[in-house]
Amino acid sequence: MTVGVTTSAEPVQLYKNSEALRAEAAIDPDPVSTAAPTKETQIIAIYGKGGIGKSFTLSNLSYMMAQQNKKTLLIGCDPKSDTTSLLFGGKACPAIIETSSKKKEAGDEVKIGDVCFKRDGVYAMELGGPEVGRGCGGRGIIHGFETLEKLGFHDWDFDYVLLDFLGDVVCGGFGLPIARDMCQKVIVVGSNDLQSLYVANNVCSAVEYFRKLGGNVGVAGMVINKDDGTGEATAFAKAVGIPVLAAIPADEDIRRKSANYEIIGKPGGEWGELFEGLSENVTSAPPVQPNPLSQDELLDLFNGEDVGRDVVLEPATQEDMCGKAEINKPSLEVIYDSV
């Protein structure tokens, strides 16, 4: 029997390669461009924690933008498919992934009219996702964009394309716009709570990471939703170096109307001015390079009593784990006296 032997040259070469990669990663990237996007269509990816109000914000924002004669396409990239439901008054929009599968089984091709629908000038579609336990949501996102490309995504004539992404899923599919420079800028949606700001900070970290790999995507700012005035989200935005594009108050009227799938971002309405300002800020804010916070820096934005900052980590013992005193077993290791 022949036993394979690793030559000493192989680990040396691997070491050299790893050193080269470390040296390359240590080089600071160029500053994020603040110039106007070179593409005619401005593609904006919006990220945030599940349930933080991305879909509510985007459905109303896209509606307002359309009323301002900005040709806008809204693409829901969350497996829950709730972005277009809010826009279409609670009606489900056929998802691209599901429609594509059914068409393929029937031997038919997917057409625009099968997956893209309109309301008052807003164009919208949902990527969808696999059934629970039957696939990877991130892979579904990738498949959905592959289908969009076949439908001519890069040739479509829109002023703005808004992408609604789930921010607390860290797999590559949900990071697609950042990793592949598919958008010019990112917007994060958060609130005055630790979990949503943790997700927003992770998105900023992803932007920073891909910038170091040669990416060009920056963060244009933050939308504070359900703002109760306590100020943690504003402090976070200031700390990472991004502007607050709008603060949507924690208001019972907004909550009730959103629960009833009612669009409140209409010109002349009670909340129209708020979304008019958000539309202007979203479209004009340049992408910037954020400075993500460490976990301790994130915690420092909150009152210590609220987040348990004073808790001390107490190491467990083997006795704790086994429920009895630890038995010191003699070692079989042979120890030679030094000569």
Find where tokens 């579609």 sit: 125
Between the alpha carbon of residue 189 and those of residues 47, 193, 195, the distances in Å are 6, 12, 12
- pLDDT on residue 21: 56
Does the annotation mark 49 as catalytic? yes
Using CA atoms, how far apart are residues 140 and 145, in angstroms rounded to an integer?
9
Using CA atoms, how far apart are residues 293 and 86, in angstroms rounded to an integer?
33
Using CA atoms, how far apart are residues 68 and 191, in angstroms rounded to an integer?
27
Marked catalytic residue, from 54, 78, 82, 185: 54
Marked catalytic residue, from 49, 78, 185, 226: 49
Whole-structure pTM value? 0.78
Contact 171, 181 (CB under 8 A): no
Marked catalytic residue, from 80, 103, 238, 266: 80
DSSP secondary structure letters along 221-244: EEEEEEE-S--HHHHHHHHHT--E
Helices (H) and strands (E) in the chain, counts: 14, 8
- pLDDT on residue 188: 95
Does the annotation mark 185 as catalytic? no
Does the annotation mark 16 as catalytic? no
Does the annotation mark 54 as catalytic? yes
Using CA atoms, how far apart are residues 122 and 117, in angstroms rounded to an integer?
8
Contact 200, 292 (CB under 8 A): no
Find how far residue 83's CA is from the centre of its chain: 15
- pLDDT on residue 228: 94
Contacts for 262 with CB less than 8 Å, ≥ 6 apart: 89
Domains of the chain, by residue range, sit at: 42-293
Find where tokens 């269509």 sit: 41
C-alpha closest to that of 48 among 214, 210, 219, 211: 219
What φ, ψ does residue 236 adopt, rounded to 5°? -65, -50
Locate 68 and state its tokens: 């301002």
Using CA atoms, how far apart are residues 45 and 160, in angstroms rounded to an integer?
11
> Which option is the CATH number for 42-293: 3.40.1110.10, 3.40.309.10, 3.10.330.20, 3.40.50.300?
3.40.50.300
pLDDT average per 10 residues of sequence, the chain (339 residues): 48 59 57 51 90 91 96 84 84 85 86 92 83 61 80 88 79 73 90 93 92 90 95 96 97 93 94 96 94 91 69 84 74 67
Marked catalytic residue, from 78, 82, 164, 168: 168
- pLDDT on residue 245: 97
Can you tell me whether residue 45 is helix, strand or coil? strand
Q: Would strands 122-126 and 117-119 be described as parallel, antiparallel, or unpaired?
A: antiparallel
Using CA atoms, how far apart are residues 95 and 76, in angstroms rounded to an integer?
9
- pLDDT on residue 5: 44
